[in-house]
Chains A and B, each alone.
Chain A
Amino acid sequence: MSHPATAISSVKLAWALSWAAFWTGFPFKMIVALLLLAAQIHPWEGAGLIALLALSVPIDIWALGLTARTFFLERMGIEVRGPAGIGLWWQGAVLGVVTLGLAYYAVGATAAVCQKAAAATLEVVNKVIPIPVAEQITIELLMWAVPTTIVAIILLLVWLKLFGWRIKRFAVASGQTSSAGLQERVRAWDGWRVPADPILMLVSFTAVAVLLTVAFWVLLPVTTTHRHPDYPPPPTDAGKKKVKPEELLKKTDTALAKAEAVLELLEKEQAKEKKKKPAGTGH
């Protein structure tokens, strides 16, 4: 009897696993990317890119392992021994690097050649029948984008075919059918993935969401980092004298003490003058 993994096409198998794994890992990667962006670190360059890639690897391994185990069990009725995520991820990654490298040159070269060919063709056509700019743009776009897209799709199919072939090999080598019934095993796996207490799951989810939200607002700049050229710049403190409350209080206290002393002196002098003046001299 043939192995259940051999019954499915390599492309379909690789597509099912990688598509599901991509969307499983996507929200987690987006959380990382958003926190980096809020902290004004671009996740597509320098340290941001390194951080995102470093965190994406374990996320992808986990996501691929989870989706592979589910797919193997639910569609093929087999359980795999050992860590499925890492076992499949490194093979997909190696093939991905090779295919992406190839795609960089193949897709780039196709686009460049087709763009030149399209421009030359339209130049000739324009001499015979002048084509308006708007129509010319769309025709030219279709002339180079269609073959370029076809090349990109072919390379994607090549990657899927190769990755699917490796997944099949992995399933044959590591997969095993158990004595328990399929429905029972699916239920057990399902139970493991979906927590028994959904309220607890929602509370935990909310707690994590609140924590991440607080982190986001703490990191986010309060005012825009993209100021409008015509908008008045924020007032600077250069011309202003800084107010130190303690010094000001001390200064005020000294001034008041001085004023009090002067007042006291004046009152004393006034009292002395009153004493000197003889009484009953008025009219």
Chain B
Amino acid sequence: MMPLLQKVYDFVDERIDLKTLEAKMMKEPIKGGSRWAYVFGSVLLFIFVMQAVTGLLLMFYYIPSADHAYASTQFIIHEVDYGWFILSYHFWGSSAMVVMVFAHMSQVFLWGAYKSPREMIWLVGLALFGIVMAFGFTGYLLPWDQRAYWATTVGVEIMDKTPIVGDFMARFLKGGPTPGQMTLSRFFVIHVMVLPGALMGLAGLHLFFFRSAGPAGPFRGTPEELKAKTDFFFPRQVWKDIVAMAAVFLTISSLALIEPVVLLEEAKPDPGDYHPEPEWYFLFLFQLLRWKIFGGEFGQFLGAIAIPGAFMLLLAALPFIDRGPERNIFKRPIALLSWAVVMIGILVLTVSAIINREFLD
């Protein structure tokens, strides 16, 4: 290490015991060695940090009032230096976060890494998944254009169908009979205060549980083979994480440049020619609700609340139902088939929703 850097390092080490911290952070043993499959957690943390940074920059100009939200967003896009790029990065970053959450959950599921003794990591991970989706939902309203207004109207209506708490939640979020100033204020506070706090707390807990239980490692190989291949977190896994973060950053930036945020008309209680629809990661559910079987009050409850709720409960109960020690996904055909059906189902319904747009005009 260069002499100056060494001096700085020694200075800090003397005061906060940097060596122990470094040993804990970087010398974490990885059973079976570093892998590309393990990058998703670090990438998610990176995306969250970038969302926080870009969100903070946007807050310097954004005004969370029904009278000024649209105009201030337009001002960010058209007048603020690089504002259009920062906003577009923030927009695509939210999609990247959802994609990465799906990828991370898929990896944990397929690797059987939710099994004992890692049940707590899985449960906290599910809560984090909910928070990421809530981030997407609350952030969507903030530009206050027709897309934002109507996606929120539809979303809150769906929430209203939840038994017992649905009515209260819908009224609390809307703050009035129709979305207005109170809705925007509440969504803004939840988006910039409540959810980031919850995410930071739960992500810390997630990491704490992860470090306590240790990484699950590959699902193939004898304990002796895995021990022989064991490597430290630094430098190989760190390098893989950095490359993955760079690839994700480049992808989000490219999307922001290819498809920058362009607002629709300012929000108004009349949808006009606009056909309300949610953000793309909720499209599959939106399309499912168009099926005849999910028509009517009960059908809507079944499709919007009961089925997704039961699915989430099943995911939460998974480590307690699937107690077998086998982690190899190729020896767990039901798990593999279920995962494939869910993924293909989401893909097919999302594409169907896109095709469905042609029939609306």
Contacts of A223 in B (CB 8 A): 78-79, 81, 84
Binds A, one of B11-19, B246-254, B334-342: B246-254
A227 to B78, CA, bound (A): 7
Check: B349 CB closer than 8 A to any chain A CB. Answer: yes
Check: A142 CB closer than 8 A to any chain B CB. Answer: yes
Contacts of B262 in A (CB 8 A): 226, 228
Check: A90 CB closer than 8 A to any chain B CB. Answer: no
Give the total of A residues in contact with B, Cβ under 8 Å: 36
Contacts of B81 in A (CB 8 A): 222-223
How far does the Cβ of A153 sit from chain B's closest Cβ, in whole Å? 14
Binds B, one of A171-179, A198-206, A241-249, A270-278: A198-206
A132 to B77, CA, bound (A): 41
Q: A194-B236, A220-B85 are in contact. Are A134 and B78 (CB under 8 A)?
A: no
A37 and B78 contacting across the interface, CB-CB below 8 Å: no
Residues in A103-154 with C-beta less than 8 Å from chain B = 132-135, 137-138, 141-142, 145
Selected from A27, A33, A145, A224, the residue in CB contact (under 8 A) with B243 is A27
Residues in B201-255 with C-beta less than 8 Å from chain A = 234-236, 239, 242-243, 246-247, 250-251, 253-254
Check: B154 CB closer than 8 A to any chain A CB. Answer: no
Contacts of B274 in A (CB 8 A): none
Selected from A26, A133, A217, A231, the residue in CB contact (under 8 A) with B356 is A133
A134 and B291 contacting across the interface, CB-CB below 8 Å: yes
Residues in A15-73 with C-beta less than 8 Å from chain B = 23, 26-27, 30-31, 33-34, 37-38
Check: B257 CB closer than 8 A to any chain A CB. Answer: yes
Nearest residue, chain B, Cβ from A37? B257
Check: A237 CB closer than 8 A to any chain B CB. Answer: no
B254 and A141 contacting across the interface, CB-CB below 8 Å: no
Q: A27-B246, A34-B253 are in contact. Are A231 and B355 (CB under 8 A)?
A: no
How far does the Cβ of B117 sit from chain A's closest Cβ, in whole Å? 32
B254 and A30 contacting across the interface, CB-CB below 8 Å: yes
A180 to B254, CA, bound (A): 47
A230 to B78, CA, bound (A): 12
Selected from B251, B263, B265, the residue in CB contact (under 8 A) with A30 is B251
A132 and B78 contacting across the interface, CB-CB below 8 Å: no
Q: A23-B36, A27-B246, A227-B78 are in contact. Are A133 and B254 (CB under 8 A)?
A: no
B235 and A201 contacting across the interface, CB-CB below 8 Å: yes
A26 to B243, CA, bound (A): 10
Contacts of A201 in B (CB 8 A): 235, 239
Check: B27 CB closer than 8 A to any chain A CB. Answer: no
Contacts of B235 in A (CB 8 A): 194, 198, 201
Nearest residue, chain B, Cβ from A205? B242
A27 and B348 contacting across the interface, CB-CB below 8 Å: no
Contacts of A137 in B (CB 8 A): 352, 355-356, 359
Check: B82 CB closer than 8 A to any chain A CB. Answer: yes
List 19 additional A-B contacts (Cβ < 8 Å) besides A26-B247, A30-B247, A224-B78: A27-B247, A33-B250, A132-B291, A133-B359, A134-B290, A134-B291, A134-B352, A138-B349, A141-B348, A199-B5, A216-B253, A217-B82, A220-B85, A223-B78, A224-B84, A226-B84, A226-B262, A231-B74, A231-B77
* Residues of chain B having any CB pair with chain A under 8 Å: 1, 5, 36, 74, 77-79, 81-82, 84-85, 234-236, 239, 242-243, 246-247, 250-251, 253-254, 257-258, 260, 262-263, 265, 287, 290-292, 348-349, 351-352, 355-356, 359
Top 7 A-B pairs ranked by shortest CB distance? Answer: A134-B290, A224-B84, A30-B250, A37-B257, A198-B235, A138-B352, A27-B247
